[in-house]
């Protein structure tokens, strides 16, 4: 067994672990099943790569996207670490060759998509391998409550049956309890060790802007934004409309949604990554694998489905640590819709008090850079909650406040005098 710090330094050049990495790695090396909830950029890969290198044998890594797999395999190869990717589009013969390499070639990592676990030949070979660790990356894909549910991820449980003695580590940046519980039960974790790092994104100012002219606000925000920008909308039609609008206003924009061809997707993404266009107007199809460090602004032009989606999407801002903004634009219509949804979901008026109290725990409100209509939300409490759609409720309460059903301003009067 090699020393984890030594392995980190020799292969990555980092002199210390960050966040909970060391705790996680120790738990893995104690053969516990680990669930690691670390934010994007938190350094999840090292959490399974270091312990796998510390031991004899090969580590199986399940990952949802070819692009993610390729990136990691290439990064390992650059360090001189032997890694193999079983992605789509390889012939049967190649598949056999690659699997043989895992058996006899001294390889340390076998990356595969969950669909590969549906192939008997793959399972058969895995059974023969000397496996030291099973890593399930982007593990929220196993949960229906996650934002990217992928039925094939349920196949990961087969690995547990096949290799009952081998420890598992599941990693994700989705922090809700519901998803965490799903991961633990679907992977049949035993003696599990759950680690959660802070998800607070201190460099992102989360703002809600009320306006009856959202296009005007959008134009101003996008023109002011000093680098790459994402605008999330809920319909495919609107991606095109707003991209046209922004282009007409002298702000270069493109659009992206699930209905365009694979080729178009690739081209549009690349143009945005290369800074040939500044703004990407997109539906939530523009998501996983989009990892541009210098996004300075994420706008939600319409209210997202749920708080998990909101956090993932808004969280694409400021990956490089620079100050950035996440702005939600809402108008009267949005508020009406929310009010309807919210009131419809309430059993009786007395329950308002409970929600109001809960809400008070979920948020800390502070001044947002001196703008009275802006405020920052502390997401620390926010993302650790589930069951109540706090974000929608919060906005709905703002609406209710206007209708004097409940006085929200009072709620926060101790902390701030911001008027809603
Ligand atoms: P995640 O999967 O959690 O989004 P990654 O594993 O891709 O994060 O790592 C994000 C970045 O952090 C990478 O550039 C990685 O090299 C870096 N990193 C990981 N561990 C450390 C560390 N201990 N010290 C400094 N940088 C680190
Ligand atoms: Mg990762």
* CB hemisphere CA count around 12 (13 angstroms): 18
Angle, CA of 385, 391 and 259, to the nearest 5°:
105
Please indicate whether residue 40, judged by its CB atom, sits closer than 6 Å to ligand 1. Answer: yes
- Mean pLDDT over residues 325-344, rounded? 74
Residue-wise pLDDT for 43-52, tens only, equals 999 999 999 9
19 lines ligand 1 (CB under 6 A): no
Model pLDDT, residue 311: 76
Of the pLDDT bands very low, low, confident and very high (cuts 50, 70, 90), residue 320 is: confident
* Residues 214-221, mean pLDDT to the nearest whole number: 97
> Confidence band (pLDDT; 50, 70, 90) for 372?
very low
Quote the tokens at residue 185: 């039960």
Q: What pLDDT score was predicted for residue 153?
A: 95
Between the CA of 46 and the centroid of ligand 1 the distance, in Å, is 7
Closest ligand to C-alpha of residue 21 is: 1
| Confidence at residue 338, expressed as pLDDT on a 0 to 100 scale | 66
- What's the pLDDT at 288? 72
Atom of ligand 1 nearest to the CA of 47: 6
For ligand 1, what atom is nearest to the CA of residue 12?
16
Of 325 and 299, the structure prediction assigns the larger pLDDT to 299
**319 alpha carbon, closest ligand:** 1
Q: What percent of the chain stands above pLDDT 70?
A: 78
Indicate if the pLDDT at residue 68 is higher than 70.
Answer: yes
Query: How much is the average pLDDT of 307-320?
Result: 82
pLDDT on residue 41: 79
Cβ–ligand 1 distance for 68 under 6 Å, the answer no
Q: What is the mean pLDDT of residues 129-135?
A: 97
CA distance 349 to 93: 66
pLDDT at residue 349 in the model: 44
Question: What separation in angstroms does the CA of 189 have from each of 144, 163, 168, 184, 408?
Answer: 18, 13, 8, 5, 42
Choice between 332 and 182, residue whose per-residue pLDDT is larger: 182
**Is residue 268's pLDDT more than 80?**
yes
Interval 227-249: pLDDT, tens: 999 999 999 999 999 999 999 99
Report the pLDDT value the prediction gives residue 307, as an integer from 0 to 100. 62
pLDDT at 389 over 80: no
Q: Is the pLDDT of residue 347 over 90?
A: no
Is the pLDDT at 195 greater than 50, yes or no? yes
Residue 355 has pLDDT above 80, yes or no: no
Residue-wise pLDDT for 72-119, tens only, equals 999 999 999 999 999 877 888 999 999 999 998 889 999 999 999 999
Ligand 1 pocket test target in 43, 72, 138 with most atoms within 8 Å of CB? 43
| Residue to mutate, 15, 18, 45, ligand 1, most ligand atoms under 8 Å from C-beta | 45
pTM, 2 dp? 0.70
pLDDT of 197-217, one tens digit each?
877 777 887 777 778 999 999
The first and second tokens of residue 409, run together, are: 């301003």
Ligand 1 contacts CB of residue 9 (under 6 A) = no
Q: Is the pLDDT of residue 303 over 60?
A: yes
CA distance to 301, 304, 310, 375, 406, per residue, from 393 (Å): 18, 13, 14, 17, 13
End-to-end CA gap in the chain = 59
pLDDT mean over 314-334? 87
Give the pLDDT score at 343.
54
């Amino acid at each position: 067994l090699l020393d984890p710090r030594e392995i980190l330094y020799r292969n990555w050049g980092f002199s210390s672990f960050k966040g909970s990495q060391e705790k996680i790695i120790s738990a893995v090396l104690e053969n516990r099943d680990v669930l690691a909830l670390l934010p994007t950029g938190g350094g999840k890969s090292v959490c399974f790569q270091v312990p796998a290198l510390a031991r004899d044998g090969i580590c199986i890594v399940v990952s949802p996207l070819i692009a993610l797999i390729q990136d990691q395999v290439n990064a390992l190869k650059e360090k001189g670490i032997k890694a193999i990717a079983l992605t789509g589009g390889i012939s049967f013969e190649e598949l056999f060759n690659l699997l043989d390499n895992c058996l006899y070639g001294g390889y340390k990592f076998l990356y595969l998509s969950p669909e590969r676990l549906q192939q008997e030949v793959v399972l058969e070979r895995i059974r023969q391998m000397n496996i030291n660790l099973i890593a399930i990356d982007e593990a929220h894909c196993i949960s229906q409550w996650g934002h990217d549910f992928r039925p094939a991820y349920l196949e990961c449980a087969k690995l547990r049956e096949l290799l009952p003695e081998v420890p598992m580590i599941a990693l994700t940046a989705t922090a809700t309890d519901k998803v965490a519980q799903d991961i633990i039960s679907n992977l049949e974790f035993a003696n599990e060790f759950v680690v959660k790092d802070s998800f607070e994104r201190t460099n992102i100012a989360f703002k809600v802007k009320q306006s009856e002219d959202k296009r005007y606000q959008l134009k101003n925000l996008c023109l002011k934004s000093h680098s790459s920008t994402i605008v999330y909308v809920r319909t495919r039609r609107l991606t095109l409309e707003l991209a046209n609008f922004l282009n007409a206003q002298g702000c270069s924009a493109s659009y992206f949604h699930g209905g365009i061809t694979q080729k178009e997707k690739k081209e549009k993404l690349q143009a945005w990554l290369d800074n040939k266009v500044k703004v990407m107007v997109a539906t939530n199809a523009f998501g996983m694998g989009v990892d541009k460090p210098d996004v300075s602004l994420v706008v939600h032009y319409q209210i997202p489905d749920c708080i998990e989606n909101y956090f993932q999407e808004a969280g694409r801002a400021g990956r490089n640590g620079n100050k950035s903004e996440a702005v939600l634009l809402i108008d009267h219509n949005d508020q009406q819709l929310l009010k309807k949804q919210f009131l419809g979901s309430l059993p009786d008026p007395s329950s308002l008090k409970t929600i109001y109290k809960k809400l008070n725990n979920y948020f800390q409100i502070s001044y947002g850079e001196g703008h009275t209509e802006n405020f920052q939300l502390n997401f620390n409490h926010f993302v650790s909650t589930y069951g109540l759609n706090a974000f929608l409720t919060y906005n709905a309460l703002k609406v209710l406040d206007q209708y004097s059903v409940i006085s929200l301003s009072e709620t926060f009067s101790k902390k701030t005098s911001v008027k809603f």
